[in-house]
Amino acid sequence: MRELVAALARALERRPGLPATAHAALAALEADAADLTAVDGPLEEVAGRLGLGGLDSGLLAVALAPELHPSAHLLLGLLSGDDGAARPSVALALELTGSSTLAPAPRRRLGLRAPLRRFGLLDVLGEDVLLSRRLRVADRVVAHLLGDDTVPAALAPLLAPALPVTVEGTSELAGSLAGGAGLCWVSAPPGTAGTALAVAACLELDVLCLVADLTRPGAPDAADTAGVRQTVRGLVLEAALGGAVLVLAGAETAAPAMDLLADAPVPVVAVGSRPWDARWHASLPPVVTAPRLTTEQRRQEWRTVLGGADPGPEVTALRLDAEQIHLVGRAAREEAAARGKQLSPGLVAATARRLGRSTRAGHGGGTATLGDLVLPAHARDEVERLISWARHRDDVLALGDLQGKGGKGGGIAALFSGSPGTGKTLAAHVVADALGMDLFQVDLSAVVDKYIGETEKNLERVFTEAESLNCVLFFDEADAVFGSRSAVSDAKDRYANQEVAYLLQRMEAFDGITVLATNLRGNLDQAFARRLHFMIHFPDPDAGTRRRLWEHHLAPLALDPHDPVDLDVLAEHVELAGGDIRNIVLAATFEAVARDRPVGMAHLGGATVREYGKLGRRPPAVVLAAATSLTPLVQ
């Protein structure tokens, strides 16, 4: 800054007509010159990190001076032709740095693509001719040069903790960064360890990293090109000021600003859920595919978060990445402390489920467990096996391409078939809750479209969103969209067959858990059988299963000792499915509460008669006899 003070003195000598206040301002600057030099070291450091030349550094120093001293503000305004304090004009800045206003090179240093403006260090204010416009240093740069590294409020919500996990691909990425790659792309589908891999690569090279996530609340929408570019420019500047590698998660959102990432003054590791798209930038960055954490890696992360405690199989099975594990662990510890309870695996699992809640994925007020599922042994065993497969999917996938190559995904697909009310939908909820995931139930009315090609587009959006939400994708009444293909007799048949063919391909590439439920298994296209890992039939309950269903649904209720419930009679004679039995118990409970009585056999008999009437069937005589003892509600 001493050189700048000297240049100001020379400029003042060339303008003898300036008021005495200009000379007083110069004297004050000369008196404080030693204090002003405190920013010389940080200024030189920033210039080195951003690759600024001598002219760039000089222009930055001129624009910085009014931010440092009020006398500099006054003197620069007077020298620029103003009546008082003002920011320096471009003409004055070029004069003070010894540059000609007619030479093209100095002017280019203030262009939009030049480092000073491209990386957001300097703004050129005004719309008049270039020489009369004013220079302003970004507030963040001023704060950094003065020793304040508080992150701007607009960027703070996007920053994430740097959590390293060494997985396959870490050394490959570290090698690319060490080799001088400016931009590296990490392809990280939902649930993979993309960000943790990038942080581990930086740790391997012993370099700092700044982690930001464009999927967090507060990030600009991908359609807001100006907002995306402003945010990316701010993040690049933040990393450059700190001398750190920028690790940017959700990087597909940054497609409109990919040029800023590719030409950034610091290395950038962009982590996106999609493969690299050649349309984003002319250059082709090194690409690394992130794997999912294995069960053992997740267990180690959980132990770190939980202070060495074993998380248990239920928590370890949750397909979370490192950042999500730390987020859930911190929230669970805070909740346990607030309740004055021990941190239990159940509390951690419940916290993890809250993390995965979304507006599209369905979830109820409670959690469905295997204990709620009353099925014959063989059907229940298959549901438990499906859950076990899903929990150990990452470990199996880590062993190699066992599911095949050629675009096949690592998903698991199951078909639940059976009559209405046999527990198919409940089983789907049990699978989702056992895995700590939400159930994404497909709204067929919003998917099936009469216009050609629209159904496929709607289904693609469903599959894509289910992958991004990491939830169980559930098609109820699946035969409506997975129906058998038929011989082509007209255009309608041909396009219907195209929809089924698309589903066959998309299901095979899907990387999540898919559950199809149908009452009419025979209506599904036979080609789906090869794509299905499980085909579980939910039979109509026999007498023993019906008794367990009655016991299960009546368990929370206080029963009337004066009108005892005969479970043997109900199980033997009421030949209905579990959903119907649940309806009967609910209706009987309403009747009992209305009479201010506990639930008795008469209430259940009356509710059973009404349920048979809804189904268009004749109720058993023994149930009719029980119902007749029920007095009318209104006398």
CATH number at residue 572: 1.10.8.60
The whole-angstrom separation of Cα 261 and Cα 547 is 65
Report the CATH number that the domain containing residue 448 is assigned in CATH: 3.40.50.300
Which residue would you say has higher pLDDT here, 348 or 353?
Answer: 348
The string of DSSP codes covering 576-621 is --HHHHHHHHHHHHHHHHHTT--B-HHHHHHHHHHHHHHHT-PPPH
Please tell me the predicted confidence (pLDDT) of residue 435: 82
475 and 450 housed in the same domain: yes
CB burial of residue 100 (10 Å; 0-12, 13-18, 19+): exposed
How much of the chain, in percent, has pLDDT values that exceed 90?
34
Q: In this structure, is residue 220 part of a structural domain?
A: yes
Q: How confident is the model at residue 487 (pLDDT cuts 50, 70, 90)?
A: very low
Comparing 41-50, 348-357, 368-377, 584-593, the range with the smallest average pLDDT is: 348-357
Residue 624 pLDDT exceeds 90: no
Q: Residues 352-357: what's their mean pLDDT?
A: 63
pLDDT at 178 over 90: yes
Angle, CA 599 vertex, CA 598 and CA 604 arms, to 5°: 160
Asked, for residue 151, whether it belongs to a domain, the answer is: no
Residue 491 pLDDT > 60:
no
Last residue of a domain, one of 112, 145, 178: 145
- The answer on 64 and 8 residing in a single domain is yes
User: Which of 474, 505, 538 delimits the end of a domain?
Assistant: 538
**Which of residues 118, 145, 172 is at a domain's end?**
145
CB 473 within 8 A of CB 462: yes
* Rounded-to-integer distance, Cα 279 and Cα 287, Å: 15
Antiparallel, parallel or unpaired: β 287-289 and 412-418: unpaired
Amino acid at 448: V
- For residue 248, the domain's CATH number is 3.40.50
* Res 394: pLDDT: 76
Q: Indicate whether 380 belongs to any domain.
A: yes
380-407, pLDDT tens digit by residue? 999 999 988 888 887 777 776 655 554 4
Specify whether 249 is located in the same domain as 226: yes
Secondary structure of residue 560 in the 3-state scheme = coil
Same domain, 534 and 551: no
One domain for residues 392 and 489: yes
Q: What is the pLDDT of residue 249?
A: 92
Looking at every residue in the chain, the average pLDDT score rounds to 84
For 60-96, how does the pLDDT look when each residue is reduced to its tens digit (9 = 90+)? 999 999 999 999 999 999 999 998 999 999 999 999 9
- Evaluate if residue 516 carries a pLDDT over 50: yes
**Structure-token pair, residue 100:** 């000609």
Residues 393 and 471 grouped into a single domain? yes
pLDDT at 494: 46
pLDDT of residue 335: 84
Question: Would residue 150 count as lying in a domain?
Answer: no
Distance CA 189, CA 195 (A): 11
What range defines the domain where residue 336 resides?
295-355
pLDDT band at 492 (very low <50, low <70, confident <90, very high): very low
Residues 167-181: what's their mean pLDDT? 92
Write down the pTM of the prediction: 0.70
- Could you tell me if 131 and 164 lie in one domain? no
H helices of 282-376, where? 295-305, 313-316, 322-339, 345-355
Q: What is the rounded distance in angstroms from the CA atom of residue 333 to the CA atom of residue 390?
A: 27
Q: How many domains does the chain have?
A: 5
| Residue whose C-alpha is closest to residue 603's, from 595, 617, 551 | 595
Say yes or no: 166 and 137 in one domain. Answer: no
pLDDT over 90 at 322, yes or no: no
For residue 502, is it within any domain?
A: yes
Are residues 99 and 47 part of one domain? Answer: yes
Asked if residue 534 and residue 548 are part of one domain, the reply reads no
Higher pLDDT, 224 or 497: 224
Please indicate, yes or no, if residue 548 is contained in any of the structural domains.
yes
pLDDT > 70: percent of the chain: 86
The pLDDT of residue 527 is 62
Widest distance between CA atoms in the chain: 117
State which H helix or E strand residue 249 sits in: strand 245-249
Check residue 259 and give its pLDDT. 92
345/387 same-domain check: no
Mean pLDDT of the region 249-263: 92
314 plus 253 within the same structural domain: no
Instruction: Return the pLDDT at 445.
Output: 62
| Spatial contact of 212 and 198, defined as CB atoms under 8 Å apart | no
Q: What is the mean pLDDT of residues 273-286?
A: 90
Give 290-309 pLDDT, tens digit per residue. 887 778 888 888 888 887 87
Q: Is residue 364 part of a domain?
A: no
In a domain, 217, yes or no: yes
CB neighbours of residue 461 within 10 Å:
12
pLDDT tens figures, 535-580: 899 998 989 989 999 999 999 888 988 888 989 889 998 889 888 9
Using N-to-C axis directions, what is the helix angle for 70-79 and 20-31, rounded to 10°?
Answer: 140
What pLDDT, on the 0 to 100 scale, is given for residue 528? 64
Q: Compute CA distances 289 → 26, 172, 188, 465, 570, whole Å.
A: 59, 10, 6, 20, 58
| N- to C-terminal Cα separation, the chain | 99
Q: Is the pLDDT of residue 334 over 70?
A: yes
Report pLDDT for 181.
Answer: 92
Among 218-222, 286-290, 489-493, which stretch is predicted with the lowest mean pLDDT?
489-493
